Structure 1
Amino acid sequence: MDYRSLSNYPRDAVDRLLNVIHLFRDIRATSEWQYDVLLKRSRLVTVPAGQPLLHAGDVDQWVYFLLRGELQVHVGDEAIAQAERPLAVIRPGEVFGDLSMLLAEPRSATIIAAPAGLETQVLAVDCTLFGDLDDFTLLHLPTKLVFYRNMVHSLRWKLEVYRSKYPGHELANSHRRLKLYTGPKNSREELVALADQARALARILLDWNAEFGSGHLAAEEADMSDFLESILS
């Protein structure tokens, strides 16, 4: 794989590239300086066809956005993954790696560039900056609020897709039972509540994914791959 700092590219080209990513666009609208801080903690990764980007069991705090190409999601290690039909396919514009980051747990899947086609390009963001909710040295409160609002929105949308597909499942309403924050807006209290909510939503989504991956629901759908692609988009 080829890792490159964003500083290796013209700034206007980087801005155009990242303008399609909600997180970067929203942070830039909040503060150009905070946007620059995040750029310095991000890098472009080029993955050759058929090569792994992430391995099940990896532990890190990186979150990824697919910019070009196609990635395949497999349960298990690389050797097994390359011989199996992918559990899901990740398309350009999709975010992944967020569950592991939010829950501080090893990655549950192996991610491999599609074996055929062009090289895959990914934006990797070091999200350790968002982990300490009391440290505003580099990233300020409004920036961290933007990050966790984005995470909560993305996770809730994915869970709503699961719920609409399987309304009678025992997990269907789990995310709707989580208490929403009703306190002062744009406060540290809201930040803590959003972070807690994101982790709770991530846990529920992980439960859904584990059940699909284990095959418990596979018999109910002949083409589960198409459905899982939709929840990752």
Structure 2
Amino acid sequence: MEIKPLIDYPREAVDRLLNVIHLFRDIRATSEWQYDVLLKRSRLLSLEPGEQLLRAGDVDQWVFFLLRGELQVQVEAASQGDGSSGERTLAVIRPGELFGDLSMLLAEPRSANVFAAHNSRETQVLGLDCTLFGDLEDFSLLQLPAKLTFYRNMVHSLRWKLEVYRSKYPAHQLADSHRKLKLYTGPKNCRQELTALAAQARALARILLDWNAEFGSGELIDDESDMLGFLESMLS
């Protein structure tokens, strides 16, 4: 696996790449220098077919965006009658998807292994070190507006994925769980909102983890997938 800091690439190409990822685009619109902080904490990972990206049991604070190729999420399969066991595919991650957020938000070990698909000739992943966002009281590197943007994006992404599950399994006992969570209605753009958004993101992550454990994350693809129109030559 080749790992390169994002700042090693031409800035113009990086800006075009990140402009189609909501989180980076929104923070850049808030503050150019806060956007620069994110660039310094981001890296581009290139994987060979079948190469492992994430390992079950690992603990870290990285969140990822798949830019090119395909990834497979695998978990250990139940033991067979002969005592053997193996891996089963829980989900397929396709370009445009955000992943790794559940472990980051819940501060828990990763629950699955993630590999580059064997049929993916080239797999590229953008990784962001989210230790920047973990301490809600620390504004030494990222200020309040940037942290609010991050958690608003997390809440939006999680609710979208939960709505996809709800549309597929409307009669399931988890179907309305996320809709029962109280939305924040207090003052905007303040620490109170940040605290509420972070708590809401963690609650949504827990619900999504329950869905994934039962069904796998399926074919959840968000609207960032249309980035692929010009990614083919972006960072070559």
TM more than 0.5: yes
Task: Name the structure 2 match of 1:88.
Answer: 91
Q: Which runs of 4+ in 1 moved over 6 A?
A: none
| Structure 2: 5+ residue stretches without partners | 78-84, 224-236
Task: Name the structure 2 match of 1:223.
Answer: none
Q: Match of 1:143, as an amino acid? A: A
- Aligned-pair CA distance for 1:232: 7.0
Q: Is the Cα contact below 8 Å between 2:67 and 2:124 reproduced in 1?
A: yes
Say whether residues 1:121 and 2:124 are aligned partners.
yes
Q: Match of 1:160, as an amino acid? A: E
Task: Name the structure 2 match of 1:63.
Answer: 63
Residue deviations 1:7-57 (CA, integer Å, cap 9, x gap): 211100111111111100101011000000000000001111101100111
> Does the residue aligned with 1:66 lie in a helix, a strand or coil?
strand
Distance 1:184 1:142, change over 3 A: same
Equivalent in 116, 140, 154 of residue 151 of structure 1:
154
Equivalent in 105, 108, 131 of residue 105 of structure 1:
108
Task: Name the structure 1 match of 2:5.
Answer: 5
Equivalent in 203, 206, 210 of residue 207 of structure 1:
210
What CA distance in whole angstroms lies between the structure 2 residues aligned with 1:230 and 1:10?
A: 31
Task: Name the structure 1 match of 2:25.
Answer: 25
What CA distance in whole angstroms lies between the structure 2 residues aligned with 1:30 and 1:44?
A: 24
Q: Is the Cα contact below 8 Å between 2:94 and 2:221 reproduced in 1?
A: no
Higher relative contact order (CA 8 A, sep 6+): 2
TM-score by length of 1: 0.89
Distance 1:99 1:232, change over 3 A: farther
Task: Name the structure 1 match of 2:190.
Answer: 187
> Does the residue aligned with 1:229 lie in a helix, a strand or coil?
coil
Q: Match of 2:209, as an amino acid? A: L
Alignment of structure 1 residues 169-180 onto 2, 5 Å: 169-180=172-183
Query: What percent of counterpart residues are identical?
Result: 76
Task: Name the structure 2 match of 1:222.
Answer: none
Q: Is the Cα contact below 8 Å between 2:97 and 2:221 reproduced in 1?
A: no
Say whether residues 1:43 and 2:46 are aligned partners.
no
- Aligned-pair CA distance for 1:109: 1.1
- Aligned-pair CA distance for 1:87: 2.0
Q: Is the Cα contact below 8 Å between 2:44 and 2:124 reproduced in 1?
A: yes
What CA distance in whole angstroms lies between the structure 2 residues aligned with 1:231 and 1:66?
A: 11
Equivalent in 214, 220, 227 of residue 230 of structure 1:
220
Residue deviations 1:178-210 (CA, integer Å, cap 9, x gap): 111111000100000000000000000001111
TM-score by length of 2: 0.88
Distance 1:123 1:231, change over 3 A: closer
- Aligned-pair CA distance for 1:76: 2.7
Q: Match of 2:208, as an amino acid? A: L
Q: Is the Cα contact below 8 Å between 1:20 and 1:93 reproduced in 2?
A: no
What CA distance in whole angstroms lies between the structure 2 residues aligned with 1:7 and 1:61?
A: 20
Q: Match of 1:190, as an amino acid? A: E
What CA distance in whole angstroms lies between the structure 2 residues aligned with 1:112 and 1:154?
A: 22
Q: Match of 2:103, as an amino acid? A: S
